[in-house]
Chains A and B, each alone.
Chain A
């Protein structure tokens, strides 16, 4: 493997074989599988992504974006420009609400983290906070789709699908893009859909939102009907019959669909033998389980999801998404009223996420795994329904860890009140571009021609944020 800068010619070769997808498969001998692992044109700092999706929009001013001015201005009325239907573009007076939790400086770097996340707070020196995030959409559906696909309304491939398309997968026996317990609503399957990319790049969902992570398994991977030895004999019969049928149709084309079908059965069989073990936590050390909060009521479920993520990272899954989601009309972090409920969600996720960070680090996986924590947007510094906060796509915080981003950095800021990103502004398109960059992919080159047009994750936007890269 060479880390030298690729020449333009090499790059083009890689583009045509690596990115051309199925249509070109026949032209690229030896790269026949669209899932075979490959390098992007750039230098990869990360091999995989774990995205911890905090669905509903956690409040930045109550967690990681410390605003003393908001504290002081509590209860005051200020004009804010509406972004919703009915108030769009008009200013109206809203009452500021101070953070509900105290902030403390933590770690060597002294980053501010509120008492909502004491466990994650212990890892601040490994985190890279992006305080100047902003995004598109105001309602959950559009913003959630934007977060995953770079489009609020039009149907586009999900980020994990783009990455699978660009890099393939390191382990042919498990899917390259897995999402654990995703929601059916707020975009639902479109959030992990391949859209027009070849179907092999579709995200595989295991479990579903609101269901126990204990039940998160691959579909149709276990046969409930046949004993193993019966099925083994049946499988041998199937392939014999398939070969017999194939023999009746001599094929002159290289890319014989019958051969591909027979191979797909072989792969399915290998998956059936291997993949179920991936979701089986029984071999894990009790200390590890405890570190993730598994066994404790509040953290058991999300702890399992986070531990699954680590196991998948070890197995070479390229894009792993862990969803803190449910199926209620308002997603979990969506406290339009009753902000104190944020504490319940923080309790459920704080220790598992901290456990994951510690575990990845201890196993040396954090170096080439990019961890991304965040919601589809943030929340307003002003109150709604007395004790809640509204959606805020204009300014919010996400954090990254590992995967070649600067550890211990706090980049960008919102204004004094924590409302609008004003400095170090990073649009969601920019974050997408930056994540692809860390994986060795160029967001402007990772294109797919569909219906006569070249599409990309970042549309015609996006800028790699070099300032946050180590």
Chain B
């Protein structure tokens, strides 16, 4: 065997015990070790280079004996326990040094010998050696302070802005800054805004007339209540929450596996918004629905819902084919922690996987305290391409299936026992099992969920030094973020031996003293109603996020939401849309001293969401199918690539939402990235969007349908134009628009001029924007 081949072999390092002159340690060090360390290590691990990567310095005895983040680099006399030798052996992919080039066999042999002989080292550390301190911020930051529960709406001198707390808080700031609010929006604009904000769809001309003919004093409230009760509300607001939960129906990553039952999570969310499930219950279900369900599988309320809800933890983007399964496990946990943190706490916790958070009070220990909870939770199942946990859905026949499965398991255990002891009996048992299998009740659908790990796997997690999965530090007791733990509560719950800690985590999140959860949630609602949050960085309440424009108002809303609001989403949304502030016009006066409109002296203009844009075009053309819920993947296969969406005509929220394939219009018009929590969509204005509206056969076909329908009813160009505007823009044309359009029609010899005109209205800025 060629000598150099030995470096390929995974044998223990063979040491040639033939080195001459070992007795002279100093000479050995100077001859073999010092030059080697200078040549290969000092560049990144010495005072001279100013670098101590991984916290390690190798230019003094103190440097290596104290070691870096991973502990001492060398244990004198014990080469096999010395990290340095592990690193140079290149056997652990997380620990390979030097990174560019493996040391020669003889260099490695010299290191082995040196350490084996006691690691003589005359080098002393420079006196100024000081390691950087951990920089965890102990926080007095606004979002971690307790919610101020005694906020009272500031009274003002009556008038339009005195009717509700929202308006009173806003008016106070207008007055303080000397800003005069914009005049109210005209009634057509306001009504279109209400419809799109609550349902994602504009009103039809008939609906506009119904509202305009309602003379009652509370016509606006009645309209609001009607829309809140419409199934369209849950579809639209459920979509907002699906953005936060990075919902998708496939895994993304390498082989993007389809999730056949994920639609149940989507429907669960839509239903929860339509039924107005209290938000604290929703959080508990998302994180611990399986546990709540298991506590009383046959009688508890919302059994299926609770199980399906844990899809929140399971539906993330996961590369199931990662071959390093320990890495995969930690990646899944990281994704769960990060999503949970952003969705409920407005915190980016992922940073603390490798180091203490640089800006927010989250230490690596706290990260791994949470990681212990999710590591004690089963999310994936083993395999070359791993799988995910699936649980039969409760419902009729569930009890029968449960007892069947228990019986089957019992018999299989008996069989396994017999196979070792008594072959004849085993044969008999096997036959009986086959017969028993025929009595299986009809199988229940299985949903993606999580479950508590096997008791032997439930444990606290070790810190992973610098995030490396095979470089373990001390174990950390499972628990929560200390800075967000209310006074008098412990960040480390008492846990039963079989409990992961998820239920305790959900209780901690929904505790009335948690400073983040309700602030984050009411701000999300505000964001969707007004177009911008009081905190505009809705997913980031940390130091790198923005601070609230109206802190007192935010605390008032958060506090009321927990108490009199009973965690009801509809109630708060209703309060917001019936405010005076919601009715403001969006035109800015040049005199405004608040160009970003933080004080809400006018309405924010915003782009129609991708879903609304598409659904509205289809609805106006009479082509929108308003069927509710259910599986919509027309052809299920293992992977999502190459999926054909065909002529999908239901609301966009129901379109198969694959991570690698979506409706084209969703990709083009800034639909939420399904790979991460995105409570605030980005707004882009791109030529590709323009090209879609100008050239897509879908848009032209819908325009043609609208043109045909209008031509049947309205013969005169003027009334037809009026109707087209009311259908598409919820208003009539201005005189200037009328003139431009009629001139175009008059000059157009093409018999499809009306189609071209309707298409143009779909592409116009007033259709794409909500004012």
Q: A residues engaging B (CB < 8 A)?
A: 69, 78-81, 83-86, 88, 90-91, 137-142, 144-145, 152-155, 183-190, 195-196, 198-200, 204, 219-226, 230-231, 233-235, 237-238, 240-242, 244-253, 257-258, 260-265, 267-269, 271-272, 327, 415-417, 419-420, 422-427, 449, 451-453, 460, 463
Contacts and interface: CB of A to CB of B under 8 A. Distances in A.
B2 A139 contact: no
Contacts of A230: 750, 752, 756
Interface string B254-293: 1110000000000000000000000000000000000000
A237 B744 contact: yes
Contacts of A234: 756, 759-760
Given A252-B590, A262-B765, 14 more contacts: A84-B384, A137-B323, A142-B322, A155-B675, A244-B740, A251-B588, A261-B765, A261-B769, A268-B688, A415-B4, A422-B7, A424-B100, A425-B102, A449-B544
Contacts of B734: 244, 248
Contacts of A271: 687, 691
Interface in B1-46: 2, 4-5, 7-11
Contacts of A219: 664, 688, 691
Contact of A267 (B325, B687, B747, B759): B687
B697 A139 contact: no
B670 A199 contact: yes
Interface of B: 2, 4-5, 7-11, 90-91, 93, 99-102, 252-256, 317-319, 321-325, 328, 331, 334-335, 342, 348, 350-351, 354, 359-360, 383-384, 539-540, 542-545, 586-590, 592, 595, 605, 607, 639, 641-642, 659-661, 664, 670, 673, 675-676, 682-692, 694-697, 700, 734, 736-737, 740-741, 744, 747-748, 750, 752, 756-757, 759-761, 763-766, 768-769, 771
A212 to B, nearest CB: 16
Contacts of B697: 224-225
Contact of A253 (B9, B588, B659, B744): B588
29 contacts: A69-B2, A69-B5, A84-B323, A88-B325, A139-B254, A142-B254, A142-B319, A142-B321, A155-B252, A185-B641, A187-B253, A190-B660, A196-B673, A199-B670, A219-B691, A224-B697, A225-B700, A230-B752, A231-B694, A233-B747, A237-B744, A241-B760, A250-B587, A265-B694, A267-B690, A272-B694, A451-B540, A452-B542, A452-B544
Contacts of B334: 154
Contacts of B595: 252-253
B189 to A, nearest CB: 11
A257 B683 contact: yes
Given A88-B323, A258-B769, A220 B695 contact: yes
Contacts of A231: 694
Given A141-B319, A220-B692, A424-B101, A233 B11 contact: no
A363 B543 CA distance: 52
Query: Max chain A CB contacts within 10 Å: which of B687, B688, B736, B763?
Result: B687
B685 A257 contact: yes
Nearest to A420: B8
Query: Max chain B CB contacts within 10 Å: which of A142, A426, A463?
Result: A142
A396 to B, nearest CB: 16
B254 A145 contact: yes
State the 7 A-B residue pairs at the shortest beta-carbon distance, nearest first. A141-B254, A184-B641, A452-B544, A268-B690, A91-B10, A188-B660, A155-B675
A142 B741 CA distance: 54
Contact of B323 (A139, A188, A460, A463): A139
A189 B660 contact: yes
Contacts of A261: 685, 690, 765, 768-769
B619 to A, nearest CB: 21
Given A139-B321, A142-B322, A257 B673 contact: no
Nearest to A452: B544
A269 B747 CA distance: 22
Contacts of A245: 737, 764-766
B691 A268 contact: yes
Contacts of B639: 185
Nearest to B341: A451
